[in-house]
Structure 1
């Protein structure tokens, strides 16, 4: 197949590499010229295991190309996958500007000479009803009565985790396809032909709400575990032992994932989608007190972790923060609780060094770049290399993930692990 991917962020770029590795021809579209130039040169714009080799192979074989404008690239395409961002607006709703804009671009680029409809699969997360109330009206306005002959819209949420995105693409927990009539789509069946996973064919709205349900549940688990962890800290109880006992019950407690008392939830999905679900609930008059408490609980946990991290130290003490990205093995700083922690430490007057081998200030791009420097303007000066981290005397090392385990720290420096409370 020939596949166009609109938006080459984590989701879109990973999909491009994986789809091309199966022998399909991929054209990626992104407004960032630097990103497009890097991709065409075989340089990955993100840090993610396995994508570098897949990109080089795809470019060398002519299966991966990239451009900043859609132009006539849809000609001959069987499928267009939309992966543009839906960031939080001021009221917590998803900002749908990119979705509307790219939909208009696709409609304008569709050739009247097509002999079959172009399947347009949306993977961006947005509220239920968006396909029917925003996407389809845009296509109808542009294409008129010929809309069904020119385009077939499906909603196909992704379930990729940064740091294991390639494995998650080929081994997802499930495949969800939302269609207008709740029936399978032949092109999507071809796309997923080599993937062994449960497949759910639903209407648009059922598919659209999937990520809200999943990500809000993950957020619920993190917040619940961290509330237990805070209580344990206050009572002098071992949160580690409590966690061990709790997750041993796989019959009733379901799963250990996201349930370990430790770091606050963050990243580009969970906070954004919880806020959006809150907005949806308010907009529809639905009372969701647990969901409404998640962000507040998470913010309270961030502050408690700050207190735990610096407790007993006087302002002016030198601290090493080991791990800045929201997850080890990635450079994504968007809504990372560790960025908030660093900001709090600086505001409190501590001398801070940051060691994260996955973060290179010079390689940050797009929303990741904007968020990083809006929260930590001195990021480039704060980051230190491994030699500096190992050779400096610190009053305390704050470990947010396994990054600290890679260091050979000098002396008897105290290490406080925020990823796993004691």
Structure 2
């Protein structure tokens, strides 16, 4: 393939050398003459282990060159890869001016030279909606036609780490390809043919938000580890040993569990232990701002779930809540978010039935009994049988957990599954 890379910073320079090493013809474009001259003379403008050698090899066989203007570089190109910067603005948003400028330049060349259809892949970090709301309209305005009539626009986020960029290029944690219809793109398939990684084909917005989700999660992990670390330090506990124990658990701690968007957390352990860690942090002067925010975030999520479950349903409507306990198949109502949801529904003026065959109002004891009736004094009246639920007409059915597997949901009653936000 012939690949044109626009923007020769960290991402662009790495991509240029790696792509050329696979035998593709690469032309790099950057406004910095100093950067372009350095690359053409065999000197990488960035310090990254192994790139100088790859650059020298690519130059020696004539597979890589650089220039300051697009010119005729796009003639015969199969793929243009946009790697320009998107720096932060004072309000925290990304500066899209470089993205807009390079998109405009590509579109102008396509129109000027009547270029045949090719792929334009964006690797720069951009906010969700940028492709559809900024990039595609720029092409449309210049070409007087929808962008897809002339180019295939792709969003393809990168997952490079400084110091291991070459390895990360050829061994990424995943490959994400965002297209207008979520279908494969031939040029991207060819580009990634020799890379062994899971490939996710999706639409633009899901691909665009990927880096924000990943990097924010990485920040959460670092902040969490550091809050635990300073608590251990202040309490005279070995943070190293605690870390060793924590990461050894790959079934729950380091795994996909608890990471699917859905219901709020609750039950007899998580809220109680978070509050206890808050107390330990305060008692030792550790200032656990992330931990302190967990319960507030969870309460906010509970309210969002209520609004989501009752959206467009008028007060007085008849609702069925399927699953009251914290976990299906148990009768543990202690701090169950589903109990909170039932309470909010009743307070908002809805008529409510609850189906959860594992919960027997007359069998609850101890703290479970106390919590249930303090939150839902009319619990015994709310609980209904399978037969009652099947024979009653509801305006909406709200599925809170896997208890739904014990109820045959039939008919066309609107259903909201709060256990899996889609």
Calculate the TM-score normalised by the size of structure 2.
0.59
Q: Which residue in 1 is equivalent to 2:163? A: 163
Alpha-carbon distance in 2 for matches of 1:2, 1:214: 31
Task: Output one character per residue of 1:237-258: Cα deviation in whole Å (capped at 9) or x when no partner.
Answer: 2211111111111211116xxx
Structure 1 residues 214, 41: CA separation in 2 closer, same or farther (over 3 Å shift)? same
Native 8 Å contact 1:129 1:204 kept in 2? yes
What aligned pairs does 1:276-295 form with structure 2 within 5 A after superposition?
A: none
Within-5 A mapping of 1:406-421: none
Give the greater-gyration-radius structure (CA).
Answer: 2
- The answer for the alignment partner of 2:299 in structure 1 is none
Residue by residue over 1:255-307, the C-alpha shift from the partner in whole angstroms, topping out at 9 and shown as x without a partner, is: 6xxxxxxxxxxxxxxxxxxxxxxxxxxxxxxxxx969979xxxxxxxxxxxxx
Distance across 2 between alignment mates of 1:27 and 1:193: 20
Q: 1:291 to 1:112 in 2, by over 3 A?
A: farther
CA drift at 1:33: 1.0
CA distance in 2, matches of 1:38, 1:236: 53
Higher relative contact order, structure no. (Cα contacts within 8 Å, ≥ 6 residues apart): 1
The match for 1:87 is: 87
| d(CA) in 1 for partners of 2:183, 2:99 | 24
Q: Secondary structure at the match of 1:110?
A: helix
TM-score normalised by structure 1 residue count: 0.59
Moved more, 151-160 or 230-239: 230-239
Alpha-carbon distance between aligned partners in 2 of 1:150 and 1:292, rounded to the nearest angstrom: 52
Aligned residues: 261
User: Within 1, Cα distance between the matches of 2:233 and 2:109?
Assistant: 58
Specify whether residues 92 and 16 from structure 1 end up closer, same or farther in structure 2 by C-alpha distance, changes over 3 A only: same
**Contact preservation (8 Å) 2:29, 2:69:** yes
Partner of 2:73: 73
Displacement after TM superposition at 1:100 (Å): 0.7
> Considering only aligned residues, what root-mean-square deviation do their CA atoms show, in Å?
2.0
Q: Name the CA distance, whole Å, in 2 between partners of 1:182 and 1:5.
A: 23
Q: CA deviation at 1:118?
A: 2.0
The secondary structure found in structure 2 opposite 1:209 is helix
Find the aligned partners of 2:112 and 2:101 in 1 and give their Cα distance. 20
Q: Which residue of 1 aligns with 2:153?
A: 153
The alpha-carbon deviation at position 112 of structure 1 amounts to: 5.3
* CA shift digits 1:41-63 (9 cap, x unpaired): 01111111111111001111111
Q: Distance in 1 between matches of 2:100 and 2:226?
A: 38
Unaligned runs of 5+ in 2: 256-288, 295-422
Deviation at 1:158, TM superposition (A): 0.6
Q: Is the 8 A contact 1:116 1:149 kept in 2?
A: no
Cα distance in 2 between the residues matched to 1:145 and 1:89: 32
User: Cα offset for 1:173?
Assistant: 1.2
Q: Secondary structure at the match of 2:89?
A: coil
Task: Summarize the Cα distance change of 1:126–1:146 in structure 2 as closer, same or farther, 3 Å threshold.
Answer: closer
SS in structure 1 at match of 2:71: coil
Whole-Å Cα distance in 2 between the matches of residues 155 and 112 of structure 1? 24
Q: Give me the whole-angstrom Cα distance separating, in 2, the residues matched to 1:128 and 1:293.
A: 26
Rate the CA distance shift 1:199–1:179 in 2: closer, same or farther, 3 A: same
Alignment of 1:129-208 (within 5 A): 129-145=129-145, 147-208=147-208
